[in-house]
Structure 1
Amino acid sequence: MKRTLLTVFTLFTLAANAQEKISAAKGVVYGTVSPENKPVTPDEIKTKLVKNEFNGQIKAKVTDVCKAEGCWIKVQKADGTSMMVRAKDHKFLMPENIVGKTVLIEGSATVKETSEEMRRHYAEDAGKSKEEIAKIKGPEKDVQFAAKGVKVLD
């Protein structure tokens, strides 16, 4: 009986891991996104914060993606820096070919501090070199977005 259960569990695990991520083509949605409703840019979020939180949509270009799982992306800000966008509760994953695409993102943003350890973890997930990771020093306070969904616009 144990052997049968172990075999069934192994087969389900292999089948789940064999699922392909859907390619980032125009119109593809990861998670859930409502129809477009006055999205803001990543730069506008700080001015839209109410009690340190923003709920709504942003429109931005993807500059980086988690190479390990696809659980986060970075989107471009006007000054050339980027804003971190994580898939809320890891409910969806995004493919590597989403980089360079303009996307509509729905969710909530808050100002949070990211520890040095977590910043290094994100850099590792992004495929940065050991030298680049070693240069990361100290925590960083910035706007972080927890996405319920991401829709590819182009």
Structure 2
Amino acid sequence: MLKSYIVAAVLGLSLVACEKKDAQPESAPADAPAEAPADAPKVEETPPEAADSPEPGAASQQGKLELPEDLGAGETKLYGSRFTIIEEPLTLAAAVEKAAEHPGPFKIDATMEQVCAKKGCWFTLAGEGIDKPIRVRMKDYGFFVPRNAAGSRVIVEGELTAREMPADEAKHYAEDEGKSPEEVAKVGATKVYEFTATAVEVTMPKG
């Protein structure tokens, strides 16, 4: 009888020990991140795209572009981006011939015939074998050229395309060129070649 009581007591103690062991909380894994205190400051990570710096020479579209200063006689200056085409520039006539197959990009050596008198936001190219001057606009309106650069030698890089210019747009350019109201009234729709420039090097005549 005494032996039965002893066995029962031992079994009872074992059950109590097992219950206590099961009631203990499991420990967190060693690699689990520790929780930050409730009053700790929140740190926000910088998105990868926000950390990238803008391209050199890229103009901010949020602010107003400053007009470039006039160039002096014999002075040369680059506007926009750096040239990416290392080969010698084409003539304007050769570029127009190639543009019938693809828009480029091309690097062209030509003469700046006219320039926007208000801002220098466009200019026209002239060259041997070209009947109508080719208008150049800066890519994304990102930069201007000096307003005193008419008659200068220019090397431009960008794309050359043909399109039908509507009459109202053609009249607007005629006004920018300083034409009289009578001349502007005669301007109508016309097929034109246009050049979208990413880089423009201007060399002023020496005298």
Q: TM-score range with shorter-chain normalisation?
A: 0.7 to 0.9
Length, aligned pairs only: 138
User: What's the CA shift for 1:60?
Assistant: 0.7
Is 1:76 aligned with 2:126?
A: yes
Native 8 Å contact 2:119 2:147 kept in 1: no
Higher relative contact order (CA 8 A, sep 6+): 1
Residue number among 4, 27, 32 corresponding to 2:76 in the alignment: 27
Instruction: Name the SS for the 2:155 alignment partner.
Output: strand
Which has the larger Rg? 2
Contact preservation (8 Å) 2:164, 2:191: yes
1:88-138 deviations in Å (ceiling 9; x for gaps): 11111112211010010011111111111111011111111101101112x
Q: 2:193 and 2:78 mapped to 1: Cα distance? A: 23
Q: After alignment, is 144-153 or 72-81 more displaced?
A: 72-81
User: Take 1:122 and 1:50, find their aligned partners in 2: how far apart are those partners?
Assistant: 25
Q: Could you tell me whether the CA contact under 8 Å between 2:79 and 2:143 is conserved in 1? A: yes
1:91 matched to 2:91: no
TM normalised by structure 1 equals 0.79
Q: Which residue of 1 aligns with 2:94?
A: 44
State the partner residue of 1:152: 202
* Worse-superposed segment, 76-85 or 126-135: 76-85
What is the identity percentage for the equivalent residue pairs of Structure 1 and Structure 2? 30
Which residue, out of 101, 106, 118, partners 1:56?
A: 106
Matches within 5 A, 1:114-153: 114-137=165-188, 139-153=189-203
Given that 1:64 and 1:74 are in contact with CA atoms closer than 8 Å, whether structure 2 keeps it comes out as yes
Q: 1:101 to 1:36 in 2, by over 3 A?
A: farther
When the two structures are superposed, what TM-score results if normalisation uses the length of structure 2?
0.60
SS at match of 1:98: coil
The root-mean-square deviation of aligned C-alpha atoms, in Å, is 2.2
Cα separation, 1, equivalents of 2:99 and 2:67: 37
Report the Cα distance in structure 2 between the residues aligned to 1:100 and 1:130, rounded to whole angstroms.
25
Question: Is there any run of 5+ residues in structure 1 with no aligned partner, and where?
Answer: 1-14
Structure 1 residue 54 displacement after superposition: 2.1
Deviations 1:22-54 (A, max 9, x none): 323532111123175221122122321264412
Deviation at 1:80, TM superposition (A): 5.1
Partner amino acid, structure 2, of 1:65: V
After superposition, the Cα gap between the structure-2 partners of 1:88 and 1:131, relative to the gap in structure 1 and judged at 3 Å, is same
8 Å contact 1:77–1:83 — kept in the other structure? no
CA contact (8 A) 2:67 2:146 kept: no
The runs of 4+ residues in structure 1 deviating greater than 4 Å are none
